């Protein structure tokens, strides 16, 4: 880092200490113009060389109607998993893919490398967003009539996308794994292929306009149970859900097994409590 950049960094630290956030933002832009990126952490400013791709401030800066990608993947690390998932998509489908790196992760370079393929688009944001907010940004971003929400742990072993898209002539959403309400609304159990009460977020196709009309639940910061809440929000609006047996496998689900257990349990409980408050006892939404 040159002395000139260091002086700007020091001035920005003082501006933040003085709570002069307009000056802080302006200094951040000056530093960026010199090829450096400043991130704010609990321990203070972290300064590093700018990556070889543009980084948006947050998902609120993701442009609407700027892409025709069908599959939206949220990237939160684990570069090898991202490479495996995207490589399989490119091999078995002809759809476009948009990768959203949700905050600085160790997968940014792989996302940039994969985006060398003309069917892959990259988005990078500095400030991580919640799971639902990030996926809603991906829905807004593309003009494709169908949006496929997919977890990187889901790996195609054949064309799993076409059957899901074809089902949307009758159903509001179609996915790989379905579940049904169990134990007095206190749990869910696996359901066989066919019409289901809820779909799991490993792989779900939905009409884009429907996903805009009934977005993923805004308060869901973490994925677990948010897919169930979204399913019932769709069913509440009269839309049927279909589970289809498609050629995929599930590798290690990092979002659950390798996430912070305290965050996972806290946010999962918040979402399920919210789900119960709105839907428990709504037997008209069940498939009896």
Environment class of residue 189 by beta-carbon count within 10 Å: exposed (0-12), middle (13-18) or buried (19+)?
exposed
Q: Which residues contact 121 (CB under 8 A, 6 or more apart)?
A: 67, 69, 96, 97, 98, 99, 115
User: With 80 as the cut, is the pLDDT of residue 288 above it?
Assistant: no
DSSP bridge pairs for 44: 41
Q: Which of 78, 122, 82, 133 is nearest to 100 (CA)?
A: 122
User: With 90 as the cut, is the pLDDT of residue 187 above it?
Assistant: yes
Query: Strands 71-75, 97-102: parallel, antiparallel or unpaired by DSSP?
Result: parallel
If pLDDT is split at 50, 70 and 90, which confidence band does 106 have? very high
Distance CA(153)–CA(84), nearest Å, equals: 9
Structural contact between residues 9 and 32, judged by C-beta atoms closer than 8 angstroms: no
pLDDT of residue 241: 98
With the CA atoms of 91, 230, 225 and 101 taken in that order, what torsion angle do they form, in degrees rounded to the nearest 10? Answer: 50
pLDDT, tens digit, for every residue of 190-244? 999 999 999 999 999 999 999 999 999 999 999 999 999 999 999 999 999 999 9
pLDDT, tens digit, for every residue of 136-173? 999 999 999 999 999 999 999 999 999 999 999 899 99
102 is written with which tokens?
A: 């949700």
pLDDT, tens digit, for every residue of 135-146? 999 999 999 999
pLDDT, tens digit, for every residue of 69-91? 999 999 999 999 999 999 999 99
Helices 131-141, 226-236: inter-axial angle, 10-degree rounding: 50
pLDDT, tens digit, for every residue of 230-264? 999 999 999 999 999 999 999 999 999 999 999 99
SS (H, E, C) the chain: CCHHHHHHHHHHHHHHHCCCHHHHHHHHHHHHHCCEEEEEECCEEEEEECCCCCCECCHHHCCCCCECCCEEEEECCCHHHHHHHHHHHHHHCCCCEEEEEECCCCCHHHHHHHCCCCCEEEEEECCCCCHHHHHHHHHHHECCCEEEEECCCEEECCCCHHHHHHHHHCCCEEECCEEEEECCCCEEEEECCEEECEECCCEEEEEHHHHHHCCCCCCCCCCCCHHHHHHHHHHHCCCCEEECCCCEEECCCHHHHCCCHHHHHHHHHHHHHHHHHHHCCCHHHCCC
Q: Which of 180, 56, 75 is nearest to 126 (CA)?
A: 56
Structural contact between residues 76 and 152, judged by C-beta atoms closer than 8 angstroms: no
| pTM of the shown model | 0.86
């Amino acid at each position: 880092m040159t002395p000139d950049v260091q002086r700007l960094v020091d001035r920005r630290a003082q501006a933040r200490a003085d709570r002069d956030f307009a000056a802080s933002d302006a200094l951040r832009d000056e530093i960026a113009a010199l090829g450096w990126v400043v991130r704010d952490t609990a321990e203070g400013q972290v300064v590093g060389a700018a990556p070889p791709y543009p980084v948006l401030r947050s998902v609120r800066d993701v442009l609407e109607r700027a892409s025709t990608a069908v599959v939206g993947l949220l990237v939160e690390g684990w570069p090898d998993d991202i490479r495996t998932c995207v490589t399989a998509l490119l091999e078995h489908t002809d759809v476009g893919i948009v990768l959203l790196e949700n905050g600085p992760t160790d997968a940014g370079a792989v996302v940039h490398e994969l985006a060398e393929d003309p069917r892959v688009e990259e988005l990078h944001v500095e400030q991580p967003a919640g799971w639902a907010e990030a996926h809603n940004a991906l829905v807004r971003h593309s003009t494709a009539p169908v949006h496929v929400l997919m977890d990187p742990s889901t790996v195609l072993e054949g064309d799993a996308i076409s059957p899901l898209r074809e089902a949307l002539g009758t159903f509001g959403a179609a996915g790989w794994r379905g579940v049904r309400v169990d134990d007095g609304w206190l749990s869910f159990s696996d359901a066989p292929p066919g019409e289901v009460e809820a779909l799991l977020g490993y792989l779900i196709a939905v009409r884009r306009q429907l996903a805009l009309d009934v977005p993923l639940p805004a308060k869901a910061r973490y994925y677990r149970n948010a897919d169930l809440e979204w399913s019932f929000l769709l069913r509440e609006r009269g839309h049927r859900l279909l589970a289809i047996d498609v050629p995929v496998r599930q590798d290690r689900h990092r979002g659950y097994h390798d996430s912070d257990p305290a965050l996972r349990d806290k946010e999962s409980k918040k979402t399920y409590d919210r789900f119960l408050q709105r839907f428990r006892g709504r037997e008209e939404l069940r498939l009896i």
